[in-house]
Chains A and B, each alone.
Chain A
Amino acid sequence: MSGFDFNLSRRGLLKSGVALAGTAAIGGGLAPRPARAADTTLRVLLAGDPFYYAIEGLKDQFQQETGIKLAIEAISLEALQARLTSSFISNEPDADVISVDQMWLGQYLESKWIHPLNELIKADSDVNVEDYIPEVLYSMNTWRGQVGTLPVAAYGQMVLYRKDFVEKAGISVPEDGSWSWEQYLAAIQKMNGQDFDGHKMSGTVLAGQQPAPVVHMYSQLAASMGTRWFKDFPAGTPWDFQPTINSPENLAALKIFSELYKNAPAESVGYNWFDAGMRFAKGDVGMFYWWTPYAYLCKKDGYMSGKDSVVADKLGMARLPKGPGEQVVSLGGHSLGITANTANRDAAWQFVKWATSAKTQKAMGLYDKYGHQFSDFARKSLYSDPELLKIYPHLTAQLGDLERGNGKIVRPPCPVYTTLEGIYGLNLNKVLTGQLTPEACLSETSTFFETILKGNFLIPYQQASYDDTLDATKALLKSLA
């Protein structure tokens, strides 16, 4: 029997037990107490995108200006979702300012989880609300005539290409976006498989991972080609959520998308947002379109590494190709909201105002601890700022795309969006792996959409509708200025 012949080791064990207890005591001293309501420490919960590193780096400025201390926490999307669900079921968000996804804005406002900002903006003379890009506020921050959040990072989508390779392949990329998706595809097909700079080049790269990355990428192409998700939403009254994705426009778009995949590294079927970006930064991809942060992220060889990538000085940016109709660009990014039950509403508003102001946004763009890693300004004036243009020469084109932006058409913030995205993403991913034909994907997805929308009582829609248009947002901004 083992067991009782270990008096010697017993002492050792006891010792290590004591040592552990000792560390616990020290650890206990280190652990901060939860902030009390009376503290002027503001708790900010953000998604860990590049803008967070800039804000974290500049937070001392805010503290100096206002005397309010910041405790900023950045977490991954997965953790943010889990944290927010559990916080909101119990109606106890553990932060004063939170990052609110545009898809969830309506839900947060209607459940009174966040505080609407209309009155705060109106009462404050130095918000300068007219300097915001209206398309951004429309897409990301307004719901049923209320401003719920303010944008801290506004992403559009653009084409990124490797200049020296595109030149060598004899392709001219129109910076102003005067080309069609078919021409874009043809250029990629021409580049694919060529030898260049010691690489066997891929024409393009996709973000094929389900659910969100592939939907974020594909929905841009689809919307640009004229696809709409629903019969009448968000504009139009009454809202009608009858799915319209099984359409000829969407089929044409999906066929282009699966052609693009044939000219992309096969692994990109599993690529998420940054996998696609980092692949491009490695130098063996000719051209792709993606969220605008990749304009600076791709110049670095790793996330927040501070080191230049091989394409850093060869990166070209152009506006997106067009479909047959009017151009529609996907808008996304990050917005700040104030939790409804915060005890520090004034301080929270100070922070939201500070983080989204032109002055701070510019400082974020100039912050270069990890190299210059932020140019997704929500303020129109910064896109013509000479100092910023020197660092981010693509800003003019970026503003051009943002002003064609309509996030509510590309990914409509309908109440069950996340569930729909899950199914759409799964089936798009299956098209890339060859498990579904484009035709089958669209008809199956459409059927699923209908089942889910009916199951969630959205078809037929019986609640009050709101004719959500860009013009309505512009009028709202004017009334708040």
Chain B
Amino acid sequence: MEGSESATGRWLGIAAMVLLLLVFIGPIVWFILLAIRPAETYFAMPPVLSFTPNWESIRYTFFDPGNNAPQLGNSLIVAIGAVALNLPFSFPAAYALSRYKIRGRKHIMLWYLGLLMAPPVAFLIPYSVLASMAGVKGTYFSMILISQTLTIPFSVWLMRSFIDEVPIEIEEAARIDGAGTTTILLKFILPMVMPGLIVTSMFAFVFSWNNAAFPLVLANRSTTTLPVGTLQYFGTAGVTWGFIASAAVAAMIPPMLIFLVLDRYVVRGLTFGSVKG
């Protein structure tokens, strides 16, 4: 296919590429602009492309009164907490599923995957009841704990693919020297898969960060996260679009940065390690 292209084909390809960027990146840029637009240009027809930036939305959402600023912190706490809690559960499981040919391994892996496909809306009310029965309603912990239904399955899958790549000879040598499983796991495997662990953690961070359904029913006013925080500007009498965009853009930035940093692992992360890219 490559190499023997006509000039026309090449130009068509470039045109298609530009179109792709317009369709898939254009709306994001349009939304970012919304955060700094003067209000009268929100719905101007024809659309207004040049304007003097208006920082009022950003000021209102993050500084005065700045309702969304603490939510940014909350989102970080919940997402980082979810990642931290998930590692001690998922790392040993990923190791075992990589190294041991146990019965039903395929079904365990598929069971994890199945959890990621559960309908979230069905679990909202039960989880809110569960959290209040356990006396953790409204705490960061409740959100971090419930996030595990997403982060553990994801991390097991992705991390397993990294452990698969670690040469088994190192462990075998260690085992001959009398090292136990815990030692092998912590002293030999862990350093070897550290990069994989970081990649996994960062993707798990994004998963947890972007989840708005659980915090909607689990958080209270002082623990609510940023994606949920965008909801407050969607009223019955009107929508303060600038405020929504300002909060939403802030919520968009960390996942985007992570994906840019992890560029070469994006495919692997998105397919839970089943495609290495």
Which A residues are within 8 Å of any B CB, using their own CB?
Answer: 1-4, 6, 9-10, 12-14, 16-17, 20-21, 23-24, 26-35, 43, 45, 47-50, 56, 71, 73-79, 82-83, 85-86, 89-90, 92, 94-95, 272-274, 277-278, 293, 297, 301-307
Contact = CB atoms under 8 A, between A and B. Distances in A.
Interface of B: 39-40, 42-43, 65, 67, 69-70, 72-77, 80, 124-125, 128-129, 131-133, 137-138, 162, 165, 194-196, 198-199, 201-202, 205, 216-218, 220-223, 228, 231-241, 254, 257-258, 261-262, 264, 276-277
Contacts of B131: 90
Contacts of A13: 195, 198-199, 202, 261-262
A31 B223 contact: yes
Contacts of A277: 237-238
Given A95-B221, A305-B39, A1 B236 contact: no
A79 B236 CA distance: 12
A79 to B, nearest CB: 4
Contacts of A12: 261
Given A1-B276, A73-B232, A86-B218, 6 more contacts: A3-B196, A20-B80, A32-B70, A34-B220, A34-B223, A274-B239
B243 to A, nearest CB: 8
11 contacts: A3-B276, A13-B199, A24-B80, A28-B77, A30-B72, A34-B220, A74-B235, A85-B128, A86-B125, A302-B43, A302-B241
Given A13-B199, A293-B237, A302-B241, A27 B129 contact: no
Given A17-B198, A30-B69, A31-B223, A90 B80 contact: no
Find the residue from A26, A29, A50, A303 having the highest chain B CB count within 10 A: A303
A73 B221 contact: yes
A85 B128 CA distance: 9
A128 B257 CA distance: 57
Given A90-B128, A293-B237, A31 B74 contact: yes
Contacts of B231: 75-76, 78-79
Contacts of A45: 221
B138 A274 contact: no
B236 A47 contact: yes
A71 B73 CA distance: 18
Contacts of B277: 2
A455 B271 CA distance: 46
A14 to B, nearest CB: 7
A300 to B, nearest CB: 9
Contact of B73 (A30, A73, A94, A272): A30
B233 A27 contact: no
Contacts of B254: 20
Given A21-B80, A23-B76, A30-B73, A306 B220 contact: no
Contacts of B199: 13
A333 to B, nearest CB: 11
A27 B205 CA distance: 15
B40 A307 contact: yes
A6 B195 CA distance: 9
A307 B129 CA distance: 45
Contact of A273 (B132, B216, B236): B236
Contacts of B39: 301-302, 304-307
A51 B106 CA distance: 57
A221 B199 CA distance: 60
Contacts of B202: 13, 16-17, 20
B261 A28 contact: no
Q: Which 7 A-B pairs have the closest CB atoms?
A: A303-B238, A90-B132, A27-B73, A86-B128, A305-B39, A94-B220, A48-B235
A227 B72 CA distance: 50
B277 to A, nearest CB: 7
A293 B237 CA distance: 8
Contacts of A20: 76, 80, 202, 205, 254
B124 to A, nearest CB: 7
Contact of B42 (A32, A83, A302): A302
Contact of B216 (A29, A50, A82): A82
Contacts of B240: 303-304
A305 B216 CA distance: 28
Nearest to B195: A10
Contacts of A24: 76-77, 80
B237 A31 contact: no
A3 B238 contact: no
